[in-house]
Chains A and B, each alone.
Chain A
Amino acid sequence: MPRDTSIKSVLIIGSGPIIIGQACEFDYSGSQAARSLREEGVRVTLINSNPATIMTDPIVADRVYLLPLTVESIEQILEENQIDAVLPTMGGQTALNLCKEADELGVWERFNVRLIGVDIKAIDKAEDRELFRQWMLEMRIPVATAKTANSMLEGKEFAQEIGFPLVIRPSFTLGGTGGGFVMTKDDLEAALDRGLTASPIHEVLVEQAVLGWKEFELELLRDAADNVAIICTVENFDPMGIHTGDSITVAPAMTLSDTAFQLMRNTAIDMMRNLGNFAGGCNVQFALNPETEEIIAIEINPRVSRSSALASKATGYPIAKIAAKLAIGYNLDELKNQITQTTSAYFEPALDYVIVKMPRWNFDKFKGADDTLGLQMKSVGEVMAIGRTFPEALQKACQSLENNATGLSFISTARLRPEELLESLKRPTWDRIFRIKEAIAAGVSIKTIREITLIDRWFLYQIQDIVTLETKISAQKHLENISAELISEAKQMGFSDDQIADLIKDCTGEEVYEYRKKLGIRRVYKMVDTCSAEFEAKTPYYYSTFEPTSYAEDTKGGLAFNESKTTDKKKIIVLGSGPNRIGQGIEFDYCCTHGLMAIREAGYESIMVNCNPETVSTDFDIADKLYFEPVYWEHLWEIIEHEKPYGVIVQLGGQTALKLAKRLHENGIKLIGTSFDDMDIAEDRGRFSDLLKELGIPYPNYGTAYNTDDAIEVAKEVGYPVLVRPSYVLGGQRMRIVINDEELEKSVLSLLKHLPGNKILIDHFLDRCQEAEVDAICDGEDVHIMGIMEHIEPAGIHSGDSHAVLPCFNLGQLEIDEMADYAKKIALRLNIRGLINIQFAIKDGKVFVIEANPRASRTTPFIAKAYGVPYLNIATKVMMGEAKLKDFDIRHSLEGFAVKEPVFSFNKFPNVNKELGPEMKSTGEAIRFIKNLRDPWFRQLYKERSMHLSK
């Protein structure tokens, strides 16, 4: 059926603030859906409370409501707009639940709004564990033995029936919250209690545990004519028992025979067709018994999900975009494959590469948290890597993690004894894959590792191949001894130059690079084209790989080994921010996306480099060219050598991008905007303080130290309380406020243990002072203050964890003027071209500068949204030198105040101290608009402002 023309106006519901289990993948799907609908002439209205998203930008929707995700907000929107239909499948479980709640209250009916892309009845069947189980039994699809319990007593009874090990799964919770394995009777009571409490309806499923079965996920699309296609099959490296969000996953499925796959495919299609009447995306999970190849259904999600975002990036097939078109009536066979633009959208992508997704955890932020991986998702972000071999994709994923891993070589400082190693493999933690490698290197048999970890042997063999090659490389004591064949093999297996250098021990990564370059061993770029090269593709989405060099030279000309053809246009590369983690999240993706668009508008070719599959900036049609690559020096450098860009933007991708500035500068690459030296002044505590002194701007007393004795000396000078922190870190990592020598020594010791050799910064802590921050744009001549935000919480709580009010609500005009004046002076003196963020402390009417960040900040999107100004577009054009601030007519449109509200994911870590302090812990944020300070929500918040402060 062609497009339903009665749908002229659609409401899309977003997923709200980022929390563990529901991250920026829904910004990606929501934005894609909105653009897809507008392409069809549909008017799109959007609700989301998350200001850091692209989806809430005026470039995405016709009308955006930055409101709390409540039924009241929905009613307000429906009163103010003529909405024909609501699309709730793009905003995760949050949007589906809200849609359901509104349905129960008769809201949709009252306003005559159709639900598209979903069948309300399907939500319950998919979410309620018992309904799901009953439904599966009706369909004669095998599931794990289970029973639903609504009380402790029932739970215990059923556990006795089913036997151990078993799983407790609470109903209607997100990302497996409150669920867990129970291995023995002793742990049952606590687990039941946790599960029943977590479930909003006080219900848990007591289920047989299928530990060690293999886990697979299928991503499906279905249209109104009941055509179904499997877009992607994802295999979990980690077997059943670890939440798929916390599992390393691989696509396409590596170990599935056609018989086993078709059984899953048929079952998944039957399930989706039977689930209800809706057109859109769906995700089905199965467990497979490796010994018998029987399968059981685990769950079904009738919406786009984290996995469908991954599947879209993994295959090139834009699931959300197509799902949105299906929701307004199109059939799959009426749409075109968006990548080839010539073939049908109704097909199943074929891959000729391997992708590996690795989760990124942040346990260091949650002291006391249980870091055992299990049914409940604990990771805060993820990376995806593409390669032509599994080891290559795996090692590229390691290189993308932003944790100093050079590949699967990351060796923790503590070397374990063999028996300790085996013991550590029993408990799955974030570094298990590194431990597995260590165990194989220590000579433990694959059989033993398989028995302990239950990971499929094919994956273990692949890791063993990496170990074997490592041994071969380290046997060569000098770089020149290494043959071209060996280097080529190592590169095809994903070894980084640094990793090879570490193995040989007599050279640096750069030397390895120069050596292999001389041997002609260079990266080639291949396209992600949905079809394994069967058809010509039009979309410039690339990944790097190494191919065997041994083709005959004379025929080389006719073959496209390197598919990334460069143009003569002036190009600008934007560096992305890598995996989401606390302190660096979706806000930088917002900045990158806008940056790319501004570059395009200015007539340059925009090139994106990033490895985060959840992002909008890595969508196939945002940049002129996308390199889905680790934001890692080696990969970046070869892209630069290939593309020869006019310059690189490091200001938009957070600290990840910024920290590459030095090396870019040293290699003669133009940084677009502020120069490296000027950025370095801002980042280097000593140089920055000298500058402040010169400008006559007050700052807290400070000093630096490399050891405890010096630290105590410095503390004496600057005066207690002091703020102790390492240099060059993100989100206040390991930052502490201490009040005496004893505490200081403890915290310095702990810091040096984790970051040996780090320069420690010690600042006098301005107790009981007020905090505020400024974001500004400078073009070298003029400085524009984007906004001044006053924090509700007093100093001592990380700015990312504070409520920030825009504009200031309590500070006097004098102080505000002083901050603006200081910001202007600093920006001009630092020669900022582009963005700067400055943090202030105000004590007894005196304004101190705490720090300056010469880049886009966490609050840049918030201000842009609150004031309704396209600040990132302006900043990027200023950075490029394409425009001056005076070229823009900037008007703030805000009545009352906008409040940035931090959102935490503490419920994932029940035993963690929830106190706030100088180290950032929030995972996301929401925006709230208040008319005036009499707002009851604000008054309550203000009253409680000091409650969360840790000593």
Chain B
Amino acid sequence: MPEQVAHISSEPAWLLLEDGTLFKGKSFGARGTSGGEICFNTGMTGYQEVFTDPSYTGQVLIMNNAYVGNYGVKAEDVESDGVKIKGLIAKNISHRYSRMTAQDNLEKYLAANNIVAIYDVDTRALVQHVRSKGAMNCIISTELSDLEGLKAELAKVPDMAGLELSSVISTKEAYTLGDEQAAIRIAVLDFGVKRNILNCLVERGAYVKVFPAKTDFATLQAFNPHGYFISNGPGDPASMDYAVATVKDVLATNKPFFGICLGHQLLARANDIPTYKMHHGHRGLNHPVKNLVTGRSEITTQNHGFGVDPEAVKASDKVEVTHVNLNDGSIEGIRVKGKPAFSVQYHPEATPGPHDSRYLFDDFMSMVKERNPQNA
């Protein structure tokens, strides 16, 4: 067991919010300047999985937990090929870690991924501020300490509303996972898919092909899938008409359809239900959701800043609500009437978070198998 060296550097870093709130903290990770939309996550485990979740693209993340970095980092604990957050804000960072099987500390990992971060900030006060003022842009810098310079950089950060990010981070080339001989083939439309979603499908015996965000419907169909999976991802679903069109084409096939998070919002939009930008979103590992079909409830992982319009869902004759959030009544799951298509706003694949909702992957696979008894 190598002895780890105590951290000694305490270079300053600055955090400026769009409304003028300014914090001075300490720098760790990469030096530089980085901006995005500020949001917070209340989870107490799984920071590395969170940082590598592609849905966080374009966002600067506050970790509410008192510590990050306590158990270092490990190559296996990732949800994509690299860190996706734009910046990190924390109360305490552990430079020295506990975990025997970890490969490195968080600081070096963030530096290697070129992520600017700030700690020694009263994150609780900051979270309360974001909770009451709502999502807004912010900037972290280790270089600029003058307010004017920070403001100028902050002005360059694009507004999240209306922003399309999926096609930027989606895979550029289609790729496959699982056993090519498997009886079930699932087409995954990648808008920023988390690695564990693909694992959950492959583990259940699917041969999965992951397609770039802007793949046309004909190409998807050419894979001759038994079911379609529409992934999670960052950005505003209202800016993704191309994706809504694909979803509509997929729905027309009457083949099993499963959407998660952004995929859920796209399913809603394909059924003429609008989405909206939430005040400050849901991000954490403890959100209670009630399944209206079974009556059972589940603790879920969530990460979304946009939602599906509840009034429009309730008024719709095309879809029905299957899951609701027990805290604020927001729409957590829908299914299309008369079609094998459903979606959830939260993350049944978890990582990080509770595994309570993994049954949704089973439901999806059974749906596929029921329709393809010869392949079951």
Contact = CB atoms under 8 A, between A and B. Distances in A.
A348 B302 CA distance: 13
A5 interface: no
A447 B328 CA distance: 49
A458 B96 contact: yes
Contact of A257 (B45, B124, B285): B45
Interface in A249-267: 252-259, 261-262, 265-266
B271 interface: no
Given A257-B99, A447-B1, A461-B6, A533 B64 contact: yes
A265 B49 CA distance: 18
A445 B97 CA distance: 16
B44 A350 contact: yes
Interface string B54-82: 00000000001111001100100100000
Given A225-B296, A450-B1, 19 more contacts: A225-B295, A252-B44, A254-B67, A291-B101, A333-B288, A343-B328, A344-B327, A346-B299, A350-B64, A354-B67, A447-B3, A458-B97, A461-B94, A468-B6, A535-B327, A558-B21, A559-B21, A559-B126, A559-B129
- Contact residues of A: prevailing secondary structure: loop
Contact of A351 (B3, B25, B66): B66
A226 interface: yes
Interface stretch (A547-555, A803-811, A877-885): A547-555
A536 B121 CA distance: 21
A100 interface: no
B125 interface: yes
B3 A445 contact: yes
Interface string B114-136: 00000011111111110100000
A367 interface: no
Interface in A171-211: none
B124 A352 contact: yes
Given A252-B44, A552-B22, A350 B286 contact: yes
Interface string B176-199: 000000000000000000000000
Given A226-B296, A559-B128, A256 B45 contact: yes
- Of residues A293, A526, A548, which shows the largest number of chain B Cβ atoms within 10 Å of its Cβ? A548
Interface in A510-563: 526, 531-536, 547-548, 550-552, 554-555, 558-561, 563
Which 8 residue pairs of A and B lie closest in terms of their CB atoms, listed nearest first?
Answer: A258-B46, A458-B98, A344-B326, A258-B352, A255-B98, A552-B22, A532-B64, A350-B42
Contacts of A551: 22-24, 122
A354 B6 contact: no
B284 interface: yes
Interface in A433-466: 445-447, 450, 456-458, 461, 464-465
Contact of B91 (A229, A388, A450, A559): A388
Contacts of B1: 447, 450, 457
A389 interface: yes
Given A333-B288, A350-B43, A534-B131, A547 B122 contact: yes
Contacts of A353: 66
Given A254-B98, A265-B354, A347 B25 contact: no
A256 B352 CA distance: 12
Given A254-B70, A257-B77, A347-B327, A526 B124 contact: yes
B100 interface: yes
Contact of B3 (A331, A354, A446): A446
Contact of B4 (A254, A262, A344, A461): A461
Interface string B315-346: 00000000000111000000000000000000
A349 interface: yes
Interface in A327-353: 331-333, 342-344, 346-353
Contacts of B327: 342-344, 347, 535
Interface in B11-29: 19-25
A458 B64 contact: no
B171 interface: no
Nearest to A492: B120
Contacts of A845: none
Given A226-B296, A559-B21, A389 B66 contact: yes
Nearest to A447: B3
A258 B98 contact: no
B125 A333 contact: no
Report, as a range, how many residues of chain A touch the other chain: 35 or more
B290 A354 contact: no
A552 B351 CA distance: 37
Interface residues of B, number: 65
B366 interface: no
B290 to A, nearest CB: 6
B275 interface: no
26 contacts: A229-B299, A255-B99, A258-B45, A265-B354, A290-B99, A331-B297, A332-B297, A333-B297, A350-B42, A350-B286, A352-B64, A352-B127, A388-B91, A389-B66, A389-B92, A457-B4, A458-B98, A461-B4, A526-B124, A533-B127, A533-B131, A535-B131, A552-B22, A554-B20, A558-B19, A561-B125
B20 to A, nearest CB: 6
A76 interface: no
Contacts of B23: 550-552
A227 interface: yes
B210 interface: no
A723 to B, nearest CB: 51
A364 B61 CA distance: 51
A558 B18 CA distance: 13
A258 B353 contact: yes
B98 A559 contact: no
A447 B355 CA distance: 36
A293 B354 contact: no
Interface in A548-584: 548, 550-552, 554-555, 558-561, 563
B287 interface: yes
Interface of A: 225-227, 229-230, 252-259, 261-262, 265-266, 290-291, 293, 331-333, 342-344, 346-354, 388-390, 445-447, 450, 456-458, 461, 464-465, 468, 526, 531-536, 547-548, 550-552, 554-555, 558-561, 563
A559 B287 CA distance: 26
A349 B66 CA distance: 14
Contacts of B125: 547, 559-561
B295 A352 contact: no
- Of residues B20, B123, B297, which shows the largest number of chain A Cβ atoms within 10 Å of its Cβ? B297
A357 B297 CA distance: 32
B127 A532 contact: yes
Contacts of A447: 1, 3
Contacts of B71: 255-257, 458
A141 B96 CA distance: 32
B125 to A, nearest CB: 5
Contacts of A343: 326-328
A349 B22 CA distance: 29
B356 to A, nearest CB: 8
Nearest to A555: B21
Nearest to B284: A350
Contacts of A555: 20-22
B350 interface: yes
Contact of B100 (A262, A291, A461): A291
A532 B288 contact: no
A618 to B, nearest CB: 21
B122 A461 contact: no
Contacts of A464: 6
Given A225-B296, A262-B355, A388-B91, A461 B45 contact: no
A343 B70 CA distance: 30
Contacts of B284: 350, 532, 534
A347 B288 contact: yes
Contacts of A254: 67, 70, 98
Contact of A461 (B21, B40, B92, B96): B96
Nearest to A346: B288
Given A548-B122, A558-B21, A465 B6 contact: yes
